[in-house]
Chains A and B, each alone.
Chain A
Amino acid sequence: MSTLEIKDLHVSVATDDGAKEILKGVDLTIRAGETHAIMGPNGSGKSTLAYAIAGHPKYEVTSGEVTLDGEDVLAMTVDERARAGLFLAMQYPVEVPGVSTSNFLRAAATAVRGEAPKLRTWVKEVKGAMNDLDIDPDFAERNVNEGFSGGEKKRHEVLQLALLKPKIAVLDETDSGLDVDALRVVSEGVNRFRAGGDTGVLLITHYTRILQHITPDVVHVFAGGRIVESGGPELADELEKTGYVRFAGSAADSAVAEAAV
């Protein structure tokens, strides 16, 4: 049973006007078997949280801690975090010219599993996982994400999720830009991953529609760089009806309160 613990996380990003604080004290614990949804308006810092967990160099953790089963995640390099069992499905997956998808997947599996997967079973495994996600077999020979459509990129992210089997997966707006069919395929992929074992999922989204396919155990509302409210799936229903106005207001209030301090 794995646990990702985030305590009072503060994160800044460098801008032309100096460092700007984006995350202002995030507390969150995700245990294996749980699915948490983080919802929030644009610019609230949801993606910053995802990238900070993964270790993107653009984001600087100024205070707080992140641990995976007690191990200090913040002390790890980006690749060490992945090998420790963290996975980030990116909102904008990066094109890597010159590297075929099949070589990439094999290199990643080799790194995460600690040994090169046996070729025969590996080919079968990849084919099966691609088939599950309605991914054309030709993809294996294309360069990583190069010329992929938005939907193809997202399927490719979920394909990696299926093959790398992390302990904790962070899905950053995996639903954005998907049509209804692609959303269903991608959601089924995530659900297969969830059903597959002791894994935790942090689902970051702007819209509630993916939650109709992937039922969360906990819904958090993110505003102004922190979690402002947590609840069950019913919280998502409320957001569906009323939007983020109530929470955006509270974020603004807290900003004013901070300014006053």
Chain B
Amino acid sequence: MTLPNTAPEVAGLAPELAGAKKGQGESPIASASERFTSYDVEAFEVPGGREENWRFTPLRRLHGLHDGSATFEGTATIDVAAPEGVTVETVGRDDARIGEGGVPADRVAAAAWSTFREATLVTLDGTPAPVTVTVTGPGAGATAAGHLQLRTTPHTEATVVVEYRGSGVLADNLEVVLGDGSRLTLVVTGEWADDAVHVGAQHMSIGRDAVLRATSVALGGDLVRISPTVKYRGPGGDAELAGLGFADAGQHLEQRLLVDHAVPHCTSNVVYKNALQSTKGLTAHTVWIGDVLIRAAAENTRTFELNRNLVLTEHARADSVPNLEIETGEIAGAGHASATGRFDDEQLFYLQSRGIPEDVARRLVVRGFFGEILSRITLPELRERLEAAIEAELAVIGV
């Protein structure tokens, strides 16, 4: 099916036009509805670090992704093991389907969009077996721009795992375009090597009565910043975005979500959990931004967003900014919650005083904390691998 291209909202807007750069500068935008988007990297000002959408990100660790100095000479390889019912194409930027998922909303996403040479387009039709897409970084010292689109035909039911791994620096856009009445279970994992930097934009476009069940797992990398945006093309759309992140010493994990309700009778649910631990005094940092916008037309919206952070050691910082904007009174329900707690000596003492050894106590706490997210991953091998990876993270601090 051909979907209307949603690009015209700002595509091609000349940067000098009044209002185009509103919100990019040092004065924060008043509303997520005013968020500037463009395919053109030059339409965005180079961030200086004080802008609302960059203020948490250590820019000097971005290897020039944000300021035009990145050369994007490397290549991130995308491998797809495609069962029956799955079509994999390599297309150019002129393909009409590219951009149906959404438009970049920050300079790095636009830089990736302006730079990528070819896009991988995966179309899911019918009820295919689970598909694994592996995105491998360009290698240590190299920088790449990537583009991947997943799309479902109407009434398809599919499961896709996108695994990011390897070394190097990657800026990319991941488009997820759900056809009407389709259902996609999506797991995106970031099991990067220690040096990796990944700045990714995810554009989720939910068709009428379509269902998205997304789970994101952020484990590796030096700096990983993922910005998912959810938009609905018709009523009855239902999106759940769950995520977990485990930041250890020196790691920066950032999740910036926007769920944009502009049509009636849609549902969204966001649950993100991060654990932080540090060694040697290097700060572990997580950032979670959860914006939900319910526009005037989006009557009977139901939405909830939740962020929980578990600080396991000293030298850790968890930023959490939930933000709910409601422009209509005719909603079914809306709420948000955020809490950051510490696993402290008193908790450890309590568990140990019941005979539980320290390493078991720590695992118990982290497993319990992430259980709600991991249990959503229905592929047993993947879930076990991720559980083992989390246990391995815990082993780093010697418990």
- Residues of A that sit less than 8 Å from B by CB: 54-57, 77-79, 81-83, 87-88, 90, 93-100, 103-104, 107-108, 111-112, 143-144, 160, 164
Inter-chain contact A96/B347, CB cutoff 8 Å: yes
Inter-chain contact A79/B350, CB cutoff 8 Å: no
Inter-chain contact A99/B354, CB cutoff 8 Å: no
Inter-chain contact B349/A104, CB cutoff 8 Å: no
Question: When chains A and B are docked, how far (Å) is the Cα of A88 from the Cα of B352?
Answer: 11
A-B pair number, CB within 8 angstroms: 81
In the complex, what residues of A have CB within 8 A of residue B347's CB? Answer: 94-96
Inter-chain contact B341/A79, CB cutoff 8 Å: no
Question: When chains A and B are docked, how far (Å) is the Cα of A81 from the Cα of B347?
Answer: 17
Inter-chain contact A79/B346, CB cutoff 8 Å: no
Inter-chain contact B345/A57, CB cutoff 8 Å: yes
Inter-chain contact A104/B364, CB cutoff 8 Å: yes
In the complex, what residues of B have CB within 8 A of residue A56's CB? Answer: 349
Question: When chains A and B are docked, how far (Å) is the Cα of A93 from the Cα of B353?
Answer: 11
Inter-chain contact A111/B353, CB cutoff 8 Å: no
Closest to A82 in B: B355
In the complex, what residues of A have CB within 8 A of residue B366's CB? Answer: 98
Query: Interface residues of A: mostly helix, strand, loop or mixed?
Result: mixed
Closest to A85 in B: B355
In the complex, what residues of B have CB within 8 A of residue A90's CB? Answer: 350, 353
Chain B 82-108 near chain A by CB (<8 Å), digits 1 or 0: 000000000000000000000000000
Query: 8 Å CB contacts to A: which residues of B330-348?
Result: 341, 345-347
The 10 closest A-B pairs by CB, nearest first: A98-B369, A82-B355, A111-B355, A108-B354, A78-B352, A94-B350, A112-B355, A98-B368, A79-B352, A99-B368
| A168 shortest CB reach to chain B, Å | 13
Inter-chain contact A77/B365, CB cutoff 8 Å: no
Given known pairs A97-B341, A98-B368, A99-B364, the reply for A107 and B356 (CB within 8 Å) is: yes
In the complex, what residues of A have CB within 8 A of residue B352's CB? Answer: 77-79, 82
| A–B pairs, 21, beta carbons within 8 Å | A54-B353, A57-B349, A77-B352, A78-B353, A79-B352, A88-B353, A90-B350, A95-B347, A96-B351, A97-B365, A98-B310, A98-B366, A99-B351, A99-B364, A100-B368, A104-B354, A107-B360, A108-B351, A111-B355, A111-B357, A144-B350
Report how many residues on chain B are interfacial, defined by Cβ distance under 8 Å.
22
Inter-chain contact B356/A79, CB cutoff 8 Å: yes
Question: When chains A and B are docked, how far (Å) is the Cα of A81 from the Cα of B356?
Answer: 10
Inter-chain contact B365/A96, CB cutoff 8 Å: yes
Query: Interface residues of B: mostly helix, strand, loop or mixed?
Result: helix
Most B C-beta atoms less than 10 A away, residue of A54, A56, A79, A143: A79
In the complex, what residues of B have CB within 8 A of residue A81's CB? Answer: 353
Inter-chain contact B369/A108, CB cutoff 8 Å: no
Most A C-beta atoms less than 10 A away, residue of B341, B355, B361, B369: B355
Most B C-beta atoms less than 10 A away, residue of A54, A78, A83, A164: A78
Inter-chain contact B351/A104, CB cutoff 8 Å: yes
| A176 shortest CB reach to chain B, Å | 18
In the complex, what residues of A have CB within 8 A of residue B355's CB? Answer: 79, 82-83, 108, 111-112, 164
Inter-chain contact A108/B368, CB cutoff 8 Å: no
Inter-chain contact A96/B345, CB cutoff 8 Å: no
Question: When chains A and B are docked, how far (Å) is the Cα of A111 from the Cα of B358?
Answer: 11
In the complex, what residues of A have CB within 8 A of residue B360's CB? Answer: 107, 111
A56-B349, A98-B310 given; 14 more Cβ-contact pairs under 8 Å: A57-B349, A77-B352, A78-B352, A78-B353, A82-B356, A88-B353, A90-B350, A93-B350, A98-B366, A98-B369, A99-B364, A103-B368, A108-B355, A111-B355
Closest to A89 in B: B353
| A62 shortest CB reach to chain B, Å | 20
In the complex, what residues of B have CB within 8 A of residue A100's CB? Answer: 368
Most B C-beta atoms less than 10 A away, residue of A96, A98, A164: A98
Closest to A78 in B: B352
Closest to B372 in A: A98
Given known pairs A96-B351, A103-B368, A104-B351, the reply for A79 and B345 (CB within 8 Å) is: no
Inter-chain contact A103/B349, CB cutoff 8 Å: no
| B394 shortest CB reach to chain A, Å | 14
Inter-chain contact B354/A97, CB cutoff 8 Å: no
Question: When chains A and B are docked, how far (Å) is the Cα of A108 from the Cα of B352?
Answer: 9
Inter-chain contact B356/A97, CB cutoff 8 Å: no
Question: When chains A and B are docked, how far (Å) is the Cα of A103 from the Cα of B360?
Answer: 12
| A126 shortest CB reach to chain B, Å | 14
Inter-chain contact B368/A111, CB cutoff 8 Å: no
In the complex, what residues of B have CB within 8 A of residue A144's CB? Answer: 350
Inter-chain contact B368/A82, CB cutoff 8 Å: no
Query: 8 Å CB contacts to A: which residues of B308-328?
Result: 310
Query: 8 Å CB contacts to A: which residues of B363-393?
Result: 364-366, 368-369
Question: When chains A and B are docked, how far (Å) is the Cα of A100 from the Cα of B372?
Answer: 12
In the complex, what residues of B have CB within 8 A of residue A78's CB? Answer: 349, 352-353
